[in-house]
Amino acid sequence: MTLRLACADFTFPLLPHDKVLQLIAMLDLQGVDVGLFEQRSHLWPSCEFADLPGAARRLKTQLDDLGLQAADIFLQMDPDFTAYAVNQPDAERRAKARDWFVRTLEYANATGARHVTALPGVHFADETHADSLARTVDELAWRVEQAQQAGIVFGVEAHVGSIAPDPASAAELIRRVPGLTLTLDYTHFTRAGIADAEVESLVAHASHFHIRGARPGRLQASFAANTIDYGRVVEVARAHNYQGWFGLEYVWQEWEHCNECDNVSETILYRDFLRQTIPTPTGAS
């Protein structure tokens, strides 16, 4: 297993985007997890898609100039993740979500990214869980097909508040949607008090990792307060011949107390930990 380290561009929201990319390069990382988060990241999909070829070309040029790669493109269509959830009951909203997903695949190809992440949908309270899940399965299967046609690996992030808030429900999605992978983030499970051992079986289905500290009750925590055994995570990933990126994903926002860490320092601590745990082969850059 070769270490490929990326950092989310939304880790540093107070800097202009060009400075964020420069900082990631200064941190001696190889890749960038690009957040296309409507109304809450540097790059809003509505703006990027207004001139998709031009916007993607500009980002690709910036990355190339800094010696960086686009590791992942993460699409979120609204600050409220229910509004355009993939399994939205409203047909018009689902159609728009499909359209933006196809545009995201085009954007990913144009920026050189080989991986796209989205959220898996939610349980809508005015219908049964089975109905919400069935629509999720249909929509994710369609997205897997579109991504495969575009030569892109597609992963969903099982997360707090989603239709897959625990390892068992994430595994059920994988079982029901052939070809689906996970952008695996232990922290959402750790926050809920779920032990690492219960998450471990999902590593076999991971195509991308999000890495940061967490502890029971807190989605984001410092390296010192973290309770996730990332050494074991790496060991299991190596056993499964994991070939994807490890994305360092500290965020800075009031939600879930995620504005209480020094993101630069914590990113460096996890960078150095992963470098010590997954040594770069001799002669590699």
Domains delineated in the chain: 5-277 (3.20.20.150)
Residues 262, 135: Cα–Cα separation, whole Å: 39
Q: What's residue 257's pLDDT?
A: 79
SS3 42: coil
pTM above 0.85, yes or no: yes
DSSP assignment of 128-194, as one string?
-HHHHHHHHHHHHHHHHHHHHHHT-EEEE---TTSS--SHHHHHHHHHHSTT-EEEE-HHHHHHTT-
User: Are 262 and 12 within 8 A, CB to CB?
Assistant: no
Q: Any residues with CB less than 8 A from the CB of 158 and at least 6 apart, and which?
A: 120, 164, 165, 166, 167, 169, 170, 173, 182, 184, 185, 188, 189, 202
Q: Any residues with CB less than 8 A from the CB of 212 and at least 6 apart, and which?
A: 187, 220, 221, 248, 249, 250, 266, 270
Residue identified by tokens 């959830």 is 85
Signed CA dihedral, 6, 9, 13, 15: sign only: positive
Residues 282, 284: Cα–Cα separation, whole Å: 6
Signed CA dihedral, 130, 131, 134, 135: sign only: negative
Residues 157, 164: Cα–Cα separation, whole Å: 9
Q: What's residue 253's pLDDT?
A: 86
In this predicted model, what pLDDT tens digit does every residue of 59-100 receive, in sequence order? 999 999 999 999 999 999 999 999 999 999 999 999 999 999
Q: What's residue 20's pLDDT?
A: 98
Q: What's residue 284's pLDDT?
A: 43
Q: What's residue 256's pLDDT?
A: 80
DSSP state of 228: -
In this predicted model, what pLDDT tens digit does every residue of 155-178 receive, in sequence order? 999 998 999 999 999 999 999 999
DSSP state of 201: G
For the chain, which residues score pLDDT lower than 50? 282-285
Q: What's residue 281's pLDDT?
A: 53
Q: Any residues with CB less than 8 A from the CB of 235 and at least 6 apart, and which?
A: none
Residues 168, 158: Cα–Cα separation, whole Å: 11
Selection from 162, 250, 155 nearest residue 202 by Cα: 155
